[in-house]
Structure 1
Amino acid sequence: MKITQRALLVSLLGLSLAAGAATLLKTDPAKTSVSAVFKQMNVPVEAKFKKFAIAIDYNAATPDAAKATVEIDTASLDLGEADMNKEVAKKEWFNSAQFPKASFVSSGIKAAGAGKLNVSGKLTIKGKTADVSFPLTVKTEAGKQVFEGALPIKRLAFNIGEGEWKDTGMVADEVTIKFHVTAAP
């Protein structure tokens, strides 16, 4: 079988494109966390979500080809007290019975310098969708990719805290979604 230069070039180009494509990473649940940080009566609170699913397609050589999807079980927010956990799942807060998942789907990930990415996409909470963007750091530790970032949002834009809970004197409107994701191929 005779291989022409053109066929060899096409094969090598295909291999290099495949090598540069994004790679689906598997998250390490023991080293991954997603939390909500806010102020209640001007006291800082950080509450972690216990259940979430994160899918990341990423290759450090081609960060602009990366994609990410996050789904969070809204009823899994742990405020450290069972009654408070039940309260935030109610209709006035997350309305977890009707909206069991909050989600983020990236629409663009761009390199922003060494170890830095700018991420944009659609955030959906309680049936409301908004375009968001935020910076993200990425580094390699022990052969795994570690992604860290924070996304500030306004809870009232997503109807989180309806009725009497719209009062931002009790619970601030500003919420930061913090995440630390450890993943490997």
Structure 2
Amino acid sequence: MKASLHWIRRAVSVTWLSAVAALLALPAADALAQIDAAHSTITATSKQMNVPVEGKFSKFSAQLVFDPAKPASGSAQVSVDMTSYDLGDETYNDEVRGKDWFDAKTYPTATFVSSAIAPAGADKFNVTGKLTIKGKAQSVVVPVTVTTQGAAHVFDGSLTIKRSQYDVGLGEWKDTSVVADDVVIRFHLVGAGK
């Protein structure tokens, strides 16, 4: 039972990283807009022994610049608090924050900084940038769908990352046959209205 819980914790930590990646990869609503965190969500899903495990980040912030008519002039800078990952159990949360997973004491924040935003079809955009987790930076391309909700832009999408590229899951947890290497980050970000 304890071993099973440890696997779940590990998988959740991977999920958090994914979530971080997702937050970081979103385009922004309106010039220098903030995210409405109360109405935004980021989840990360990994598989432990082929069973999906999902977790959420509760603390993140973003500086977003986005105009659908001029996407190339947009930008996104997202920061995620790695200690805010919640698996619903403090014991698991502590495990995920540890050195083998997020090492949140050494690397308390994960970031995404965009370098380009390009149209990819009706209301769809590809956001290219650097995702940094545990001090490891990787170039990623995040597909994002942008819709309007009242006066705010809403950004939805998902991104699959490899946890091994960010050293998430060390020691016995490096084995991707137990906790899969792929982590899917899904996000729903609501830009704060003017």
Give me the TM-score of the superposition, normalised by structure 1. Answer: 0.85
RMSD over aligned Cα, in angstroms? Answer: 1.1
Report how far residue 112 of structure 1 moved.
Answer: 1.5
Residue in 2 that maps onto 1:13: none
Query: Distance between the aligned counterparts of 1:71 and 1:178, measured in 2?
Result: 16
2:160 pairs with 1:152 = yes
* Unmatched 5+ stretches in structure 2: 1-29
Give me the TM-score of the superposition, normalised by structure 2. Answer: 0.81
2:36 pairs with 1:28 = yes
Residue in 1 that maps onto 2:111: 103
Among all aligned residue pairs of Structure 1 and Structure 2, give the percentage whose two residues are the same amino acid: 48
| Larger gyration radius, structure 1 or structure 2 | 1
Could you report, residue by residue, the CA deviation over 1:18-44 in whole angstroms, capped at 9, with x for unpaired residues?
Answer: xxxx61112111111112111112111
Residue in 2 that maps onto 1:136: 144
Alignment of 1:1-185 (within 5 A): 23-183=31-191, 184-185=193-194
Amino acid in the other structure paired with 1:84: Y
Query: Distance between the aligned counterparts of 1:177 and 1:103, measured in 2?
Result: 14
How many residues are paired up? 164
* Unmatched 5+ stretches in structure 1: 1-21
Indicate if the aligned counterparts of 2:49 and 2:177 stay in contact, CA closer than 8 A.
yes
Q: Which has the higher contact order (CA 8 A, sep 6+)?
A: 2
Amino acid in the other structure paired with 1:64: A
Amino acid in the other structure paired with 1:110: A
Indicate if the aligned counterparts of 2:60 and 2:81 stay in contact, CA closer than 8 A.
yes
Structure with the largest fraction of strand? 1
Query: Distance between the aligned counterparts of 2:110 and 2:157, measured in 1?
Result: 17
Query: Distance between the aligned counterparts of 1:161 and 1:51, measured in 2?
Result: 22
Report how far residue 143 of structure 1 moved.
Answer: 1.7
Structure 1 runs (4+) deviating above 2 angstroms are none
Amino acid in the other structure paired with 1:74: M
